[in-house]
Amino acid sequence: MADNKVVVYAGPGQVAIENIEFPKLEIPREVAEGLGIKQAAPHAVILKLVTTNICGSDQHMVRGRTTAPVGQSLGHEITGEIVEIGDDVLFHKVGDICSVPFNIACGRCRMCNEGKTGICLNVNPARAGAAYGYVDMGGWVGGQAEYVMIPFADFNLLKFPDRDAALEKILDLTMLSDIFPTGYHGAYTAGVTTGSTVYVAGAGPVGLAAAYSAQLLGASTVIVGDMNADRLAQAASFGCEIADLSKGDSLVDIVSDILGEPEVDAAVDAVGFEARGHGKDAAEAPATVLNDIMNVSRAGASLGIPGLYVTGDPGAVDDAAKVGQIGVRLGLGWAKSHTFVTGQCPVKQYNRKLMNLILADKAHIAKAVNATTISLDDAAVGYAAFDKGAAQKFVIDPHGMVRA
């Protein structure tokens, strides 16, 4: 019975809406068989999606820049209302509105016990770590849908304490599933603190979230670099300095003009493997941002790298890059004693505290990233606009709960 609409990858540059079966309280067969565990999931819940967002990571798949197969379901930024619970779910009830970390975590393995929920060992037979609706991440159905199954619910769900208050701030709270914690993680692991000077590469939603988070952490100056004028204007709208790299100017010179010195205390890569060189018509050069942030960061700095890097990129510029091997100047980072922090953000380390800031009216992340609501049926329109560089974070509203 087809009772659930879901967004799927339909080929390079295309997404489609498909009708699939209403979710069951079961984990994917490939996960169960690959790990030798039961498919039945009494620890799970079914959510009715309140909001689900389009992410730059989704866009990599839709551009054909991963090994995602046609038909791959999409969506890992999930906020929803519980409509069904398994018998082993103890601490949630039907009607609760919750944020879902994009990392799927069992809450029982060594990595989960260490707080490293982005690399859970019990949710993906192929590698450590899993996510909803993403290639090579375990086969979990995506959340750009009407309904979705969430496993290990007692561990994974972050319940909003008051339903009405949550719905009033839902455009801020929807960012807790990924980009707000991810941006915060990038800034935090870069060592941003009171008075820091910070460079953030990329003014997409994650970059904007990182810049906003750097301000929350007490940065004195946050410089955001990009080649998209609208996205740079969005960064400037909440007090960031901007580095317009479309002109081909030296990033070191831009930083010097702003700070009076050529280096920053901390830097964040919010671009990832589809980076381009400097200049309006610059070609793709996937190591550009990593080399930039090493170049403009002081000796001893930490580099937060939430930008996505992959092990399989069929559209890469050369054979080495197709397997994630890019021309990083590691010797420079070594000589400057830099610390590199990579990988999925462990969302649960941050989401509750960031939720408290939102509910206390002390964080307005939706405004910072220019949240824009669309319907599920308009997902393709949102993907197309995002791919063209729209300075917006598209929030899908499958059931009209945001508009209501």
The reply to whether 303 falls in a domain is yes
Predicted local confidence at residue 2, as pLDDT: 61
Total residues found in the chain within this entry: 404
For the CA atoms of 115, 271, 62, 379, the dihedral, rounded to the nearest 10 degrees, stands at 80
Q: Let me know whether 287 and 170 are in one domain.
A: no
Predicted local confidence at residue 404, as pLDDT: 67
How many Å apart are CA 178 and CA 175, to the nearest integer? 6
Q: Let me know whether 56 and 194 are in one domain.
A: no
pTM given for the model: 0.97
pLDDT digits (tens, 9 = 90+) for 138-187: 999 999 999 999 999 999 999 999 999 999 999 999 999 999 999 999 99
Provide, rounded to the nearest whole percent, the portion of the chain with pLDDT above 90. Answer: 98
pLDDT digits (tens, 9 = 90+) for 183-232: 999 999 999 999 999 999 999 999 999 999 999 999 999 999 999 999 99
Q: Let me know whether 34 and 174 are in one domain.
A: yes
Q: Let me know whether 163 and 20 are in one domain.
A: yes
pLDDT digits (tens, 9 = 90+) for 321-371: 999 999 999 999 999 999 999 999 999 999 999 999 999 999 999 999 999
CA distance readout (Å), 250 to 247, 286, 292? 9, 18, 10
The reply to whether 403 falls in a domain is no
Predicted local confidence at residue 403, as pLDDT: 75
Burial profile 173-212: b = 16 or more Cβ within 10 angstroms, e = fewer: bbbbbbbbbbbbbbbbbbbbeeebbbbbbbbbbbbbbbbb
Q: Let me know whether 64 and 98 are in one domain.
A: yes
The reply to whether 311 falls in a domain is yes
The reply to whether 254 falls in a domain is yes
Q: Let me know whether 288 and 225 are in one domain.
A: yes
Q: Let me know whether 314 and 225 are in one domain.
A: yes
The domain that holds 56 is classified in CATH as: 3.90.180.10
The reply to whether 402 falls in a domain is no
Q: Let me know whether 230 and 317 are in one domain.
A: yes
- 341, 368, 388 — which closes off a domain? 341
Q: Let me know whether 284 and 233 are in one domain.
A: yes
The reply to whether 21 falls in a domain is yes
- 299, 319, 341 — which closes off a domain? 341
The domain that holds 222 is classified in CATH as: 3.40.50.720
Q: Let me know whether 171 and 194 are in one domain.
A: no
pLDDT digits (tens, 9 = 90+) for 95-129: 999 999 999 999 999 999 999 999 999 999 999 99
Task: Judge whether residue 134 has pLDDT over 90.
Answer: yes
* Angle formed at CA 257 by CA 256 and CA 261, multiple of 5 degrees: 25
- 341, 357, 376 — which closes off a domain? 341
The reply to whether 401 falls in a domain is no
How many Å apart are CA 87 and CA 337, to the nearest integer? 51
Q: Let me know whether 19 and 161 are in one domain.
A: yes
pLDDT digits (tens, 9 = 90+) for 58-69: 999 999 999 999
Task: Judge whether residue 23 has pLDDT over 60.
Answer: yes
The reply to whether 264 falls in a domain is yes
pLDDT digits (tens, 9 = 90+) for 243-290: 999 999 999 999 999 999 999 999 999 999 999 999 988 999 999 999
Q: What are the phi and psi torsion angles at 244 (to 5°)?
A: -85, 100
Report, as an integer, the average pLDDT of 310-326: 94
Predicted local confidence at residue 1, as pLDDT: 46
The band of 21, judged by pLDDT with boundaries at 50, 70 and 90, is: very high
How many Å apart are CA 150 and CA 144, to the nearest integer? 13
Domain count, the chain: 2
Report, as an integer, the average pLDDT of 1-30: 94
> Domain range for residue 122?
2-178+346-396
Q: Let me know whether 173 and 185 are in one domain.
A: no
